[in-house]
Chains A and B, each alone.
Chain A
Amino acid sequence: MQIVKLPKQNLDKFIKSLSKFGQIYAPIKKDANTSLFSKIEDSSQIDLGYNRTLLPPKKYLLPPIDSMFRFSAEAGYEEVEHGVDEKSILFGVHSCDIHGLRILDLVFSGRYVDNHYFTGRKNTSIIGLSCIPDDMCFCRSMGTDFVENGFDLFLSDIDQSYLVRIATSLGDDMVRASQSLFKEVGKEEIEKHKKKSNEMQKHFKTDIELYNLPEIMDLEYESKTWEEIGEKCLSCGSCSMVCPTCYCYDVFDELSLDGKTGERKTRWDSCLFEDYALVAGGTNFRSERSARVKNRYFHKHRGFVAQYGKPSCVGCGRCIQSCPAKINVVEVITKIRSDAYV
Chain B
Amino acid sequence: MCNGTCTSDTDNIYQPHLARIVRRLPQIKDHRLFQLRLEDSEIRQNFSYRPGQFVELSIIGTGEAPISISSSPTRSGVIELCVRRIGRMTEALFRLPLNSLVGVRGPYGNGFPLEQMRGNNLLIVAGGLGMAPLRSLLWYALDNRSLFKEVILMFGAKVAEEMLFKYELLTLLDRTDMRCLLTVDKDEEGTWPAQVGVVTKLFDLFEVDPKITYAAVCGPPIMYKFVSKKLLEKKFSKDRILMSLERKMKCGVGKCGHCMIGYKYTCIDGPIFTYWDAINLPEMI
- Residues of A that sit less than 8 Å from B by CB: 68-69, 71-73, 76-79, 107-108, 110-116, 221, 247-253, 255, 259-260, 262, 264, 266, 269, 271, 276-281, 283, 285-286, 291, 295, 298-299, 302-304, 306-307
Contacts and interface: CB of A to CB of B under 8 A. Distances in A.
Given A68-B14, A111-B4, A280-B87, A250 B256 contact: yes
Contact of A114 (B18, B90, B255): B255
Contacts of A307: 263
A295 B282 CA distance: 10
B61 A248 contact: no
**Contact residues of B: prevailing secondary structure:** loop
A176 B90 CA distance: 58
A247 B253 CA distance: 13
Given A116-B12, A250-B250, A306-B263, A277 B60 contact: no
Contacts of A291: 283
A299 B264 CA distance: 10
Contacts of B18: 76-77
B86 A280 contact: yes
A285 B248 contact: yes
Given A77-B15, A279-B246, A303 B255 contact: no
A251 B64 contact: yes
Contact of B255 (A76, A77, A107): A107
Given A280-B86, A285-B283, 10 more contacts: A68-B12, A68-B14, A69-B15, A71-B61, A77-B103, A107-B255, A115-B7, A221-B282, A266-B256, A302-B263
Contacts of B268: 111-112
Contacts of B262: 298, 303
B16 interface: yes
Given A73-B61, A76-B60, A276 B258 contact: yes
Contacts of A295: 260, 283
A112 B255 contact: yes
A241 B248 CA distance: 20
A79 B263 contact: no
B13 A112 contact: yes
The 9 closest A-B pairs by CB, nearest first: A303-B263, A248-B257, A280-B87, A112-B253, A280-B86, A306-B263, A76-B18, A251-B250, A68-B14
A281 to B, nearest CB: 5
- Contact residue range for chain B? 35 or more
6 contacts: A71-B61, A73-B60, A73-B61, A252-B63, A280-B90, A286-B283
Nearest to A284: B248
Contacts of A69: 12, 14-15
Contacts of B90: 280
A104 to B, nearest CB: 10
A78 B60 CA distance: 12
A253 B61 contact: yes
Nearest to B8: A115
Interface of B: 4-5, 7, 9-18, 58, 60-65, 86-87, 90, 101, 103, 221, 246-248, 250-251, 253-258, 260, 262-263, 268, 282-283
Contact of A71 (B10, B60, B221): B60
Contact of B251 (A251, A302, A306): A251
A298 B260 CA distance: 11
Nearest to A261: B61
B140 to A, nearest CB: 24
A217 to B, nearest CB: 9
- Indicate the member of B65, B86, B256 with the most A CB atoms within 10 Å: B256
A168 to B, nearest CB: 20
Contacts of A73: 60-61
B254 A304 contact: no
Contacts of B15: 68-69, 77-79
A78 B17 CA distance: 10
- Indicate the member of B4, B14, B250, B257 with the most A CB atoms within 10 Å: B257
A107 B256 CA distance: 9
Nearest to B91: A280
Contacts of B13: 112-115
Nearest to B9: A115
A297 to B, nearest CB: 12
Nearest to A249: B256
B263 A304 contact: yes
B271 to A, nearest CB: 13
Nearest to B260: A299
A187 B25 CA distance: 80
Contact of A108 (B101, B247, B255, B257): B255
Contact of A113 (B7, B251, B260, B282): B7
Nearest to A259: B61
B101 A279 contact: no
A299 B283 CA distance: 12
A72 B101 CA distance: 11
Nearest to B3: A111
B257 A253 contact: no
A251 B283 contact: no
B278 to A, nearest CB: 13
